Structure 1
Amino acid sequence: MVWTLVIALVAFIALGMPIAFSMGLAAVVALAVDGSVPMLVLPQKMYSSLDSFPLLAIPLFILAGALMNISGITDRLVVLSRSLVGHLRGGLGQVTVLTSLLFSTISGSAAASAAAVGAMMIPQMAQDGYRKEDAAVITAASAILGPVIPPSVVMVIYASMTGLSVGTLFLAGIGPGLLIALVLMLGVFIIGSRAGIRTYPRATCREGAAAFIHALPALIMPAIIVGGIVSGIFTATEAGVIAVAYAAIFAVLIKRTKFSHLARNVTEAATVSSSILVILGGAALFGWIVAREGVPVMIAAWLQGMTGDPLIAMTLIVLVLLVVGIFIEPIPALIMLVPVLQPIADAYAFDPYHFAMVVTFGLLLGSLTPPVAVLVLIACKIADVPVNRANGPLIPMFSVLVGVLFLMAYVPFISLVFPNLFGS
């Protein structure tokens, strides 16, 4: 049945069918050919995979991020970032990375970060001397922070699949997120030094304080979400409700946003959430058949028979993540691979939260590599440059991020420092 499943999946993807339908129909074909399981089981499995209270947090976090974005919060984050790092070599490139980091605490989505931050920063970076392709690559690479920094939609999905704590996963993302941002800022520093990019005067204490107060509404929301979840005051789903209420109050009462704009954002959030849930349903069928046939256990046994060294096993897993991420978008790839990789992680006694961060970031890097490269596509469209022109500056940036991935894989402390600090 497994070979039928894999062949059907590859065939459907090759025909250009969306990944959610490819996985679902591949499961249908595999069961139909095998004939040992009633087809009635499929809708039951799909429903049970989506009947999860934590998954309700997904549309709520997406809606909260959308509401904050239309409230002009990106402008405030840019002003704050410029006051903090605008004087460093690289100028607005540094501002772009820090703005993406701060925006990630609101959106939880890489695509949303690339679109919102890119629309504002790419034209300004071009005016300051950046080549458009360099500006696009910096924006795309920094947008990858979206699903790493809490609150993260990807982390909610991972937690729902494995039973891990959403709050602890959120904390585990802080260390890697800060490391990624630091490395990107170092890369921008080198680019800015070579190209002679314009920098800005160092902000005074008064200017920095004014920028911080102006951006405070955006900074309060993630503090409430993460703090409330970690302290046990409320669950991730309840945190999503609070985030939506906070964002709606800010949009309506403070920014006087029109209700027609709010309605449009609700519709967009529902559309994005529905697409994610459809992917979850299709991938659940695929994963159920894989687990039923004992594939994860067989792979774990084969890998342990080949090597007992956890470092070698981790290296092989990272290479698999990079290859899969090239061809499949992060969320479907995550749903397909986690049931297979989790038994391997258990067999080698990898810390589950450290392993979750390695898997998540490894698959997210596929958002920067063709043929998927969704973040590069978004940034290049904003910059109005062909995607192939971004390949040159993308290679060194991607290589550095791959180095960060291996460092994360070999040094669990990076992912576990904040969970340990908060006793999670």
Structure 2
Amino acid sequence: MILGLIVVGGFILLMLLGVPVTIAIGASSIIGLYWAGFGDMSLVIPQQILDGAGKPALMAIPFFVLAGNLMNTIGLTDRIFNFCLALVGHFRAGLAYVNVIASLLFAGVSGAATADIAGLGQLEVKAMRKRGYSPEFSAALTVATSLVGPIVPPSISLIVYAWLANQSVARLFLAGIVPGILVALSFIVYIRVVATWTPMPREKRATIRDLGRATIEGVPALIAPAIILGAIVFGFATATEAGVIACGYSLLIGLFYRSIRWKGIWDALVESAILSALIMMIIGVSQIMGWLFAFEQVPQSFASGILDTISQPWVFMMFTIVLLVVIGCFMEATPAKIILLPLLLPAADAFGIDRVQFGMVITLALLLGIATPPLGVGLYLMSAVSGVRFEKLAIAILPLMIPPIIVLILLATVPEITLWLPDLIMGPQ
């Protein structure tokens, strides 16, 4: 247990000092290795890095990253936005609703919150500000609605969890559909309530012809998630093969829209390679920490301590939520999962908590860190995209955190919300 405190404590200290996450994980793991008396086994370090990054299950990540970037390149964001605008723009606070629904639809393609912010963010904020919405509210709402991205399939975050928890990617993808819709609905309810006392404009009602044109242009994008998820769930393709299908489908849509450009494809390839390499490097160096924890039985000691202190599953879930929300404010979701899951999963198993439900709770809890200072990756990105100062954006987003927190508590206390759809389609686990 002392080893775990040294390694995790060293990692947090290095992160607070501004050390890059990959180096912080590797350095703290090496310190733990020498402290445990395994200095003469330093050859295990490159072996574990290669073993961690070379898992076949993780091959899906680069392809889904590439598919999301290709969708951005071919102008899919404009078509999704126009479809949502024609559908709900005529309601009061119509553009705010468009922001939420467009994020939900785009999440079914990109699988990442940052892709949503980078792709839809500038378009949504510009449109909302033009129609009289405050810059702070426009930018804050766009960051908040991007939380849907890593929940709705295909989700890069859920693929990482599936690998760590030894769970089915298809089951986790299905489990993310209802929570993702609930998060989107919670934002719609919030906007409806706020619109009762805050003046918010409505757009001109689209004609039947305009709605039909927007639907026809948006259909290829709207059926992409169904193709990807259906191929995995019904056994036509593995997660990795579905990622390849998503990339091929993105190129076909680009040809259909006649918006494909070689420079855009090249930029998407470069950006995807950089991001995928970063994710794989984090996973690789984290494997050293996982190996060390397993060798010293740190997860078993942590679980034993939790069970001695906490006697009820719901108390453990609330403890986990608070812990992960706090951790998510200072650490990115992927390294946080890799470090904390080996410690938390044995305790969750002991309490009889389903690993699929636990995965959705962990994913959403850590996601809140995207929109929370001081790390707040989504806040920094949106500040750069929109020109709104970080401090003002951080304050404006605070009330928008209430809806996803309510959904998070529901997911933790009502397992059926997460498990109903995967059990219905794939049978009980």
Structure 2 unaligned regions, length at least 5: none
Partner of 1:75: 78
The alpha carbon displacement at 1:220 in A equals 2.2
Structure 2 residue matching 1:233: 3-state secondary structure: coil
- Conserved 8 A contact 1:133-1:380: no
The alpha carbon displacement at 1:241 in A equals 0.8
* Whole-Å separation in 1 of the counterparts to 2:207 and 2:298: 60
Partner of 1:228: 231
**CA deviation vs aligned residue, 1:31-65 (integer Å, no higher than 9, x gap):** 12333360111211121112211211111011111
Q: How does 1:145-164 map to 2 (within 5 A)?
A: 145-164=148-167
133-142 vs 382-391, which moves further: 382-391
**CA deviation vs aligned residue, 1:73-128 (integer Å, no higher than 9, x gap):** 11110111112221233121110111011111111010010111111010110111
Is 2:120 the counterpart of 1:117?
yes
The alpha carbon displacement at 1:8 in A equals 2.9
Q: Percent identity?
A: 37
The alpha carbon displacement at 1:203 in A equals 3.7
Q: For 1:17, give the aligned amino acid.
A: V
- Conserved 8 A contact 1:114-1:379: yes
211-220 vs 6-15, which moves further: 6-15
Quick one: which of 362, 365, 368 aligns to 2:368? 365
**CA deviation vs aligned residue, 1:147-175 (integer Å, no higher than 9, x gap):** 00100001111111121100110000001
Q: For 1:185, give the aligned amino acid.
A: I
* Whole-Å separation in 2 of the counterparts to 1:239 and 1:73: 19
* Whole-Å separation in 2 of the counterparts to 1:293 and 1:238: 37
Partner of 2:306: 303
- Conserved 8 A contact 2:329-2:375: yes
Partner of 1:421: 424
192-201 vs 19-28, which moves further: 192-201
Per the alignment, do residues 421 and 200 of structure 1 end up closer, same or farther by CA in structure 2, a change over 3 Å counting?
A: farther
* Whole-Å separation in 1 of the counterparts to 2:376 and 2:10: 24
Quick one: which of 33, 37, 40 aligns to 2:35? 33
* Whole-Å separation in 2 of the counterparts to 1:10 and 1:103: 33
Partner of 1:19: 21
Partner of 1:142: 145
Q: For 1:229, give the aligned amino acid.
A: I
Structure 1 residue matching 2:157: 3-state secondary structure: helix
Q: How does 1:125-140 map to 2 (within 5 A)?
A: 125-140=128-143
Partner of 2:251: 248
Q: How does 1:194-213 map to 2 (within 5 A)?
A: 194-213=197-216
Is 2:43 the counterpart of 1:44?
no
- Conserved 8 A contact 2:153-2:177: yes
* Whole-Å separation in 1 of the counterparts to 2:243 and 2:403: 34
Q: How does 1:251-290 map to 2 (within 5 A)?
A: 251-252=254-255, 254-290=257-293
**CA deviation vs aligned residue, 1:350-383 (integer Å, no higher than 9, x gap):** 0111111000100011111101111122222222
Q: For 1:32, give the aligned amino acid.
A: Y
Structure 1 residue matching 2:388: 3-state secondary structure: coil
Quick one: which of 50, 58, 62 aligns to 1:55? 58
Q: For 1:334, give the aligned amino acid.
A: K
TM-score, length-scaled by structure 1:
0.96
TM-score, length-scaled by structure 2:
0.95
* Whole-Å separation in 1 of the counterparts to 2:151 and 2:394: 24
- Conserved 8 A contact 1:169-1:353: yes
* Whole-Å separation in 2 of the counterparts to 1:309 and 1:274: 41
Structure 1 residue matching 2:223: 3-state secondary structure: helix
* Whole-Å separation in 2 of the counterparts to 1:293 and 1:216: 53
- Conserved 8 A contact 1:90-1:193: no
Partner of 2:342: 339
The alpha carbon displacement at 1:23 in A equals 0.6
**CA deviation vs aligned residue, 1:290-323 (integer Å, no higher than 9, x gap):** 2322222122222222232111111111111111
Q: For 2:211, give the aligned amino acid.
A: G
128-137 vs 47-56, which moves further: 47-56
Structure 1 unaligned regions, length at least 5: none
Is 2:411 the counterpart of 1:408?
yes
Quick one: which of 88, 91, 94 aligns to 1:88? 91
The alpha carbon displacement at 1:253 in A equals 5.6
When the two structures are aligned, how many residues end up with a matched partner? 424
* Whole-Å separation in 2 of the counterparts to 1:302 and 1:342: 13
* Whole-Å separation in 1 of the counterparts to 2:64 and 2:303: 35
CA RMSD of aligned residues (A): 1.6
